[in-house]
Amino acid sequence: MLHQVLQCFNGTPTAHLLLKTISRKGITKHISTTSYCKIQEEVSKLLALKAQLNTEDAAPQKFTLKTPKGTRDYNSQQTTIRNNVLQRITTIFKKHGAECIDTPVFELKEVLTGKYGEDSKLIYDLKDQGGEILSLRYDLTVPLARYLAMNKINTLKRYHIAKVYRRDNPAMTRGRYREFYQCDFDIAGQYDPMIPDAECLKVVTEILDVLDIGKYILKVNHRRLLDGMFEACGVPADQFRSTCSTIDKLDKLPWEEVRTEMINEKGVTPEAADKIGEYVRLNGSTELADKLLEDARLSKSKSAVEGLGGIKLLLHYCELMGIKDKILFDLSLARGLDYYTGVIYEAVLTQPIKIGNEEQTIGSIAGGGRYDNLVGMFDSKNKQVPCVGVSIGVERIFSVLEAKLAAGDISVRTTDIDVYVASAQKNFLDERMKICAELWNAGIKTEQSYKKNPKMLNQLQHCEENGIPFAVVLGESELKRGVVKIRNITTRAEEEVSRENLVEELQTRIEKLGLKEMNGPVA
């Protein structure tokens, strides 16, 4: 029987351990029937374990090679589009005095728990890695609040561009992923009402104007007004947040479906739901705020009056900044995240985007609001640092531009090379390398063929395919006369210039072309 056990693990550390144990214990040949049965049972378990080990050690099964669900790769053209968009956004953030920070891609789970309302179920949890329960960051706002509280920072104007993760149902063609970029701009500190809030709206309009992907409107509302509206309509205070998350679905669902969810799932009475429905269909500007201040129900709610006063002040500041015509006071805007306490806003495109021969509807492309209590949640003394910010939905912007690229509506250069050093004859590698080094040392973006004797046609074709504007063409007779040819790839015109003045000539031509703008209007 023992021989059978040892055979199961022949040649393994387990077999050596069994032999050592048998020798130390002095096991005899005389084994009772009961013991034999127990050993037989253990042998069966060991055999099953061996079979499992053999299965694990077997050759891996074939699998489909792909990226995980809700993620993607970016090719060189897509990456160029992305980098150019992010660069333009960063320029505007810096124009408004924002500083850049970074935080870990994962946080302690308790940092993220309880901050996102119903969306908390979308947080990616990680396995225990040595005593810390961690989760991937869901957004960049909660990590900012943790950063401010941990470092005892009271004032900060910051921007942060990084990837976040959500276990959501992806819609890849519409720019909805599980791993995606967020571009955040936030102002932290104790300031007078609505001044930093209005600047955040101004930042959004500047970004959407410079990217020029379509006509848009910035919807604004106020959490205090929503709370007052729910109170006036008869919703219990403990149902405000859950009701708010349902209202937030009005941009995707018709009112009847939202009403049904409020009643059947959130416990709102039909009468209260109908009263809410009267308000969430309203939108306008300062005139609407004035009208609501005289409303019989809302005028009795302190929260609603406070929210309407904030909206009026915000619209006044937006008028001073010249953006009021792009702002819409919309009572259906709710934004479901729990941490918002004041003004909330969201940018949406007002018309479908025409891409090739098709039109695509794009959802929200920016959103944000005021969150005055979030930092205090992480402070041992509950010290509050009021904050307001905005997040740009760049993935949806990327998806629009990539679709335009595929339709041939825009083109991109994937490299920034200004000059290609070519040779029309054989045995010019040494001279090509000297000129490349000279141009590199002068700060000119340059490349050449990696073949000793490349064909002239292939070299010029490479320039055309990659949008390289100039080629320096070397020839035996020209070099003997101390000159080289500069070829304009677009016009195909060639001009001889002195070899000694090559750097200065190229720098002048590059400057005249304005190559900083050669990547196209957005791409």
Report whether 370 contacts 387 (CB < 8 A). Answer: yes
Phi, psi of 100 (to 5 degrees): -95, 135
Residue 71 burial (CB count, 10 A): 15
Q: Is 90 annotated as a binding residue?
A: no
Helix, strand counts (H, E) of the chain:
18, 18
The answer to whether 293 is annotated as binding is no
Which tokens in the block code for residue 288? 């609407």
> Would residue 335 be called left, alpha or beta, if left means φ above 0 and alpha means ψ between -120 and 50 degrees?
left
What gap in Å lies between CA 226 and CA 279, rounded to an integer? 10
Q: Is 491 annotated as a binding residue?
A: no
In degrees rounded to 5, what are phi and psi of residue 64?
Answer: -80, 120
- Max CA pair span of the chain: 107
Query: In a 3-state reduction of DSSP, which class is residue 270?
Result: helix
Identity of residue 306: E
Residue with tokens 């002048």, as numbered in its chain: 508
How many CB atoms lie under 10 A from the CB of residue 201?
Answer: 27
CA angle 81, 82, 86 (to 5 degrees): 120
b/e code 222-237 from CB counts within 10 Å (16+ = b): bbbbbbbbbbbbebee
Q: What are the tokens at 430?
A: 């040494």
CA distance 272 to 263: 9
Q: Cα torsion for 474, 476, 477, 483, to the nearest 10°?
A: 40
* 182 marked as part of a ligand binding site: yes
Annotated ligand binding at 340? The verdict is yes
Residue 166 annotated as binding site: yes
Among 467, 75, 416, 399, smallest CA distance to 211 is for 399
Nearest CA to 505 among 484, 489, 475? 484
Tell me if 223 sits within 8 A of 307, measured CB to CB. Answer: yes
Q: What is the C-alpha R_g of the chain?
A: 33
Distance (Å, rounded) from C-alpha 329 to C-alpha 56? Answer: 61
- 339 annotated binding-site participant: yes
Q: Which residue numbers belong to the known binding site?
A: 139-141, 166, 182, 186, 335, 339-340
In the annotated binding site for L-histidine, the residues are 139-141, 166, 182, 186, 335, 339-340
